[in-house]
Amino acid sequence: MKQPLSGLKVADFSWFGAGPICGENLASFGATVVRVESESHPDGLRGVAPFAAGKTGFNVSGYFNNYNAGKLDLTLNLNTDLGRKMLLKLVAWCDIFLTNHTPRVIERWNISYDELKKVNPQLIGVYQPMQGFEGPHRYFMGFGAVLGPITGYSYLSGFPHRPPMGLGTNYPDYVINPGHTLIGILAALRHRKKTGEGQLVELAQIESSVSPLAPAIMDYAANGRIQCRAGNRLPHAAPHGAFRCKDSTWNNQPEDRWIALGVFDDAQWAALVEAMGSPAWARDAKFATLAARKQHEDELEAALTEWTREQTAEEVMALLQSKGVPAGVVQNARDMLEDEHLKARGYYVYLDHPEAGVTAYDGPPFRLSKTPGVLRTPAPLLGQHNEQVCKEILGMTDEEIAEALIEQALY
Amino acid sequence: MPDAALSDLRIIDLAGEIGVYCTKLLADLGADVIRIEPPDGDPLRDIGPFWHDEQAADRSLLFFNFNTNKRSVTLDITRPEGRALFEKLVAGADVVVETYKPGYLDALGLGYDGLSAIKPGIILTSVTGFGQDGPHAHYTWSDIVGVAMSGVMTLAGDKEDPPNMPYPSQGYIGAGIQAAAGTLMAVWHRDNTGEGQHVDVSMQEALSINQETAMQTYDMLKAIRTRTGARGLIPIDIPGIGVYECADGQVFAYLGSPGGAPWTVMLDWMNREGKAEDLNEEPYISLIRELHLRFLTSLTQEPAKLPERIKNLGHIYGVFSRFCATMPKWTLYEEGQKQRLMFGIVSTPEDLAKNPQLKARHWLQQVDHDHLGATVDYAGPPYRLHETPWAIRSRAPLPGEHNADVFTGELGLSAQELASLREQQVI
């Protein structure tokens, strides 16, 4: 089946999340994506849990595997001349070069866009430096855990009585940064198709991550207000938050369960009151309008919790949804993998990996009705496609491949 | 003016809050986006924060940010005359972006099939909470419902508290990003084949990969990753890792990580400030020389030494905390980073507005707002395409600001016809 990106060639010289996830989406929509790693520097995520049960080694990390379906894998040792030559050959072959390595590493290996353009004048070079290539902080170090605080997510998220602890994950790495990158790439492709001209696409991770926090920044710039974390509340809704439901049991342990909901207008409030059986407290004037509910929000939340606590989160969701109130179970990963709606839509894709076995992968993040994304192969083993890439892409003979092995260039 | 990558695209924007970031992203790369607002008011304009805290249809900073570069027309597409105008707009468009509940546009005959009949090759991008089909397709969504149902919310916060949602509206932002990417993927396919299609974005699916390792942890090990609060996965206080109070705020530190300077460099700094206390002596100095990630992850392998080590680490943690508490956050961040010590300032919105790196890169954009008699600061680019740059060419529009341009200028309605339609509240 012809896919939108069939025939497009990508050299994925990135690692961790922000680069590879973008590369994986390109592969899912038809591009040939070659991951470049090294035996001495495999992708850091290959060594991070979780690992397939009872398995060890570089090829069984679920963290790595979920971001690299559909790719070919080539190991190149850039500390050898031959390794460098082979990388440049790959760059000459590709349409898109993708990396999130730091400015220092890019300088050390001489793989700036200007350099790579010499071997591929039409190259679309996609770089994701943490702070950008220009500016006083361009050499600052960091990864996801540091980026969250620097970009404001930690200060702005969570409860005010807690320290800024972030979102529990390297949050911008998974949707915001790879997603923005994919948009930039598709725009650059259009330009190249029209004009024949490639370009440098620079995604400074700090800029990409800060963009979605615009309302808080603009509130400061226009009004001098320093917004701070507000828990799960919203200025224009009440009640709004996560409310404790009946505990469930899992593995013989109690599990806390929560319903997330929001009431944004009078109609939704009336619907919620009706769903609760029109209790007297809810008909009090102090809850009749949004403004009133905001004024008495602590009391509102406590009263609502008394009701939710008596039911399962699933029951509350079904009931409130039947009345048009936005409500959803705060799902954990088990809920996600067993979610009947996601199953009906076939969201999670199960692929059989030679070492990790059959495991679940996130499916494409958007659906195209006529040319859907497809995860065609599981994540590659380290260096799995060395011979294939050398022969079919780099045009090397058996002798040349043997030489590359001996010189430890293919390493 | 440098070329724009999408300037040949005409996009009709019917998006509510869940989809406006999609159309903004496309507009900022050059697309001509016509936003259709209900004649009795676009609810998006009612969401704050507001310019000088004045709630009005032309004062919402959130609306400003998400509607850069767009033109605005007011139109009720459910009225026959309104629908006729809408169909004319579609006939000249490449993309329609909408966020109605699944089935709504189909019932009007304006779903993908209906729109394709009007404009073959049209791309319809639909952004909803749960997608166009499936048992929950009819569900009412909001931002918090998206982050909850996608497994993201459960991972954030202290386990003594309810799970935390991210700063609003990250669910909508994620959906918008995936929708923009999906739209451009469909546009690329159409550019090459002439074939349009329906782009279906479910916020739940758009966000799911934000679960980091939680999904794989359950899938592979049948273990559930839960929120772990400030300490994260580390059960004890490790000096140089975590959030620390400063004289004027907080920093996040991750000392001893691979690629960074060793902890001894931190100790040198503390010595220069005269604040190392007794860390230069045993048993602390030996421990400090070993304070890197590999050592920390191997702590549990020597259980006999563990209680003593935990006590000493706790002491070093205390001295380090006291050091941080005397220092300004920007100093710890900038001076620390210059020594390759991994500090990250815990930025407030003020810090972001004043960040020297963002300032040097002219990230914040100053945009004229004639109707306010002022300049408004807008968020800057998420990426820099060097030949076809992101740009704010014009401020967010006023309601119906381009009615004359579009309905008269492009569709040929006379001024009287316009006035009549306005009277009937069709526009």
Write out pLDDT tens, residues B123-145: 999 999 999 999 999 999 999 99
Q: Residue B234 pLDDT more than 70?
A: no
Same domain flag for B193 and B262: no
B233 touches chain A (CB under 8 A): no
Last residue of some domain: B280, B313, B346?
B346
Please answer whether residues B405 and B71 qualify as being in contact, where contact means their C-beta atoms are separated by less than 8 angstroms.
Answer: yes
Write out pLDDT tens, residues B57-74: 999 999 999 999 999 999
Residue B229 lies in a domain: no
Same domain flag for B86 and B185: yes
Q: Which domains does chain A have, with CATH numbers?
A: 9-212+344-406 (3.40.50.10540), 240-338 (3.30.1540.10)
| Residue B292: per-residue pLDDT | 81
Q: What is the CATH number of the domain that holds B80?
A: 3.40.50.10540
* Helix (H) or strand (E) run with residue A207 in it: helix A205-210
Indicate the DSSP class of residue A150: H
| Residue A20: per-residue pLDDT | 98
In angstroms, the Cα distances linking A189 to A71, A186, B197, B218 are 20, 5, 19, 38
| Residue B298: per-residue pLDDT | 76
What is the set of active-site residues of A?
A: 173
Estimate the crossing angle of helix A18-28 against helix A176-195, to 10 degrees. Answer: 50
Amino acid at B356: P
Same domain flag for B246 and B181: no
In this prediction, the answer to ipTM > 0.90 reads: yes
Residue B26 lies in a domain: yes
| Residue B3: per-residue pLDDT | 73
Coil/strand/helix, residue B124 = strand
Same domain flag for B168 and B284: no
Q: What is the dihedral of CA B305, B310, B313, B314, to 10 degrees?
A: -160
Record: contact B164-A228, CB cut-off 8 A: no
| Residue B2: per-residue pLDDT | 60
DSSP A65-92: HTT-TT-EEEE--TTSHHHHHHHHHHHH
Same domain flag for B181 and B281: no
Estimate the crossing angle of helix A398-406 against helix A81-93, to 10 degrees. Answer: 130
Amino acid at B172: Y
Please answer whether residues A383 and A91 qualify as being in contact, where contact means their C-beta atoms are separated by less than 8 angstroms.
Answer: no
The residue among B367, B345, B401 whose CA lies nearest residue B45 is B401
Tokens 């905001």 locate to: A294
Of A221, A258, A327, which is closest to B377 when you measure between CB atoms? A221
Domains in chain B, number: 2
What pLDDT band is residue B186 in, cutting at 50, 70 and 90?
A: very high
- The arithmetic mean of pLDDT across residues B81-89, rounded, is 97
Residue B141 lies in a domain: yes
Rg (CA), chain B: 27
What range does the domain containing B114 cover? 10-211+370-423
Record: contact A186-B184, CB cut-off 8 A: yes
Please answer whether residues A184 and A127 qualify as being in contact, where contact means their C-beta atoms are separated by less than 8 angstroms.
Answer: no
Same domain flag for B56 and B16: yes
Residue to mutate among A15, A341, A358, A362, with most B CBs inside 10 A, is A341
Write out pLDDT tens, residues B167-184: 999 999 999 999 999 999
Write out pLDDT tens, residues A73-95: 999 999 999 999 999 999 999 99
Instruction: Count CB atoms within 10 A of the CB of residue A223.
Output: 17
Show the CA angle centred on residue B93, arms to residues B87 and B98, nearest 5°.
Answer: 75
Last residue of some domain: B311, B346, B381?
B346
What is the distance in angstroms between the Cα of B229 and the nearest Cα belonging to chain A?
Answer: 6
Instruction: Count CB atoms within 10 A of the CB of residue B326.
Output: 11
| Residue A144: per-residue pLDDT | 76
Which residues 236-265 in chain B show a CB within 8 A of chain A? 243, 250-252, 254, 259-260
Residue B353 lies in a domain: no
Question: How many residues appear in chain A?
Answer: 411
Rg (CA), chain A: 25
Same domain flag for B398 and B335: no
Ranges of chain A whose pLDDT falls below 50: none
Please answer whether residues B119 and B190 qualify as being in contact, where contact means their C-beta atoms are separated by less than 8 angstroms.
Answer: no
Mean pLDDT of chain A: 96
A283 touches chain B (CB under 8 A): no
Q: What is the 3-state secondary structure (H, E, C) of A252-306?
A: CEEECCEEEEECCCHHHHHHHHHHCCCCHHHHCHHHCCHHHHHHCHHHHHHHHHH
Alpha-carbon distance of B163 to A232, in angstroms, equals 9
| Residue A374: per-residue pLDDT | 98
Question: Which residues have CB under 8 Å from A376's CB, separation 6+?
Answer: A27, A28, A69, A70
| Residue B293: per-residue pLDDT | 73
Same domain flag for B159 and B199: yes
Q: Which chain A residue has its CA at the smallest distance from B232's CA?
A: A168
User: For residue A312, with 0-12 CB atoms within 10 Å meaning exposed, 13-18 middle and 19 or more buried, which class applies?
Assistant: middle
Alpha-carbon distance of B195 to B186, in angstroms, equals 9
Mean pLDDT of chain B: 95
Same domain flag for B202 and B245: no
B232 touches chain A (CB under 8 A): yes
Q: How many CB pairs under 8 A join A and B?
A: 501
Residue B231 lies in a domain: no
Q: Which chain B residue has its CA at the smallest distance from A350's CA?
A: B219
B384 touches chain A (CB under 8 A): yes
Residue B67 lies in a domain: yes
Alpha-carbon distance of A61 to A15, in angstroms, equals 14
Residue B137 lies in a domain: yes
Record: contact A232-B144, CB cut-off 8 A: yes
The residue among A334, A323, A378, A388 whose CA lies nearest residue A356 is A378
Same domain flag for B256 and B185: no
Same domain flag for B134 and B281: no
| Residue B233: per-residue pLDDT | 61
**Which residues in chain B have their CB less than 8 angstroms from residue A139's CB?**
337
Residue B303 lies in a domain: yes
Same domain flag for B35 and B169: yes
**Which residues in chain B have their CB less than 8 angstroms from residue A147's CB?**
344
Of B141, B187, B343, which is closest to A326 when you measure between CB atoms? B141
